[in-house]
Chain A
Amino acid sequence: MEQQQIIKKINYFLVEEFEVEEALIVPDANLKDTLELDSLDMVDLVVVIESNFGFKVNGEELIKLTAIKDFYDYIIQKIQNPG
């Protein structure tokens, strides 16, 4: 899957799952602030990543991601370099 396709898919599920306006999902925006994530929402984020991309998410890694572009890079890296 091409990077742009992955990003498009990520944006789609973020809009659907977290009911955030697509215009707010920009690479430099803060991930947790933009999605208004609390600790319970982080569980939903893990589930939605695993169900959309099929890899196991490490919560400790996820919580370190700051910007949305970090989130994109994390998923792209996991897809392109599994294991």
Chain B
Amino acid sequence: MNSIEQQNILDFIPHRQPMVMIDQLLQADEKLGKTTFTITEENVFVDQDGFNASGLIENIAQTAAAQAGYYYRSIGQDVPIGYLAEVKNIDIAQFPKVGDKIETKIELKTKVFNINLVEASVSLNQKIICSCTMKLFIKEEE
């Protein structure tokens, strides 16, 4: 796939500025998603340490949302709404600074009932700076 810029990413995620935490969708298929995001000074999750833990978690969740959104559209289905249910095993080695460009990768490991389990990592200059597992509750159509 060609990468999708932020303007078009909004077709796949429900978030709107200033809460959009992904710039480009580089890859998306049934199980994998990859995005990039450059940290700006005005970002709401930037504090004295840089792009904080909440921002990293939001970035990962939006990567998962964009992957699912792109995939479901590609197979002609409506995009289901997902809710962040749990973050586990989070390991943050470094907070990105203003101007840094992070790359975030998510992999759908399993689906049980309405819950997707995702493994995620955030890289900066090809070094993993954050990893976690995330559970997303998927709301089915009524």
Contact = CB atoms under 8 A, between A and B. Distances in A.
Interface of A: 39-40, 42-43, 46-47, 50, 57, 59, 63
A40 B86 contact: yes
Contacts of A42: 112-113
Interface residues of B, number: 9
B115 interface: yes
Given A39-B113, A47-B110, 12 more contacts: A39-B115, A40-B115, A43-B110, A43-B112, A43-B117, A43-B135, A46-B112, A47-B109, A50-B110, A57-B112, A59-B112, A59-B113
Q: Is the interface of A mostly helix, strand, loop or mixed?
A: helix
B44 interface: no
B135 A40 contact: yes
List 9 A-B pairs, minimum CB-CB distance, nearest first: A59-B112, A43-B112, A46-B112, A43-B115, A43-B117, A40-B86, A59-B113, A40-B135, A43-B135
A46 B110 CA distance: 9
B40 to A, nearest CB: 34
Among A40, A42, A50, A57, chain B packs the most CB atoms within 10 A around the CB of A40
Interface in B75-93: 85-86
Nearest to B116: A43
7 contacts: A39-B115, A40-B85, A43-B117, A47-B110, A59-B112, A59-B113, A63-B113
Contacts of A46: 110, 112
A31 to B, nearest CB: 15
Nearest to A56: B110
Nearest to A63: B113
B117 to A, nearest CB: 5
A39 B86 CA distance: 11
Contacts of B113: 39, 42, 59, 63
Nearest to A46: B112
A47 B115 contact: no
Contacts of B109: 47
Contacts of A57: 112
Contacts of A39: 113, 115
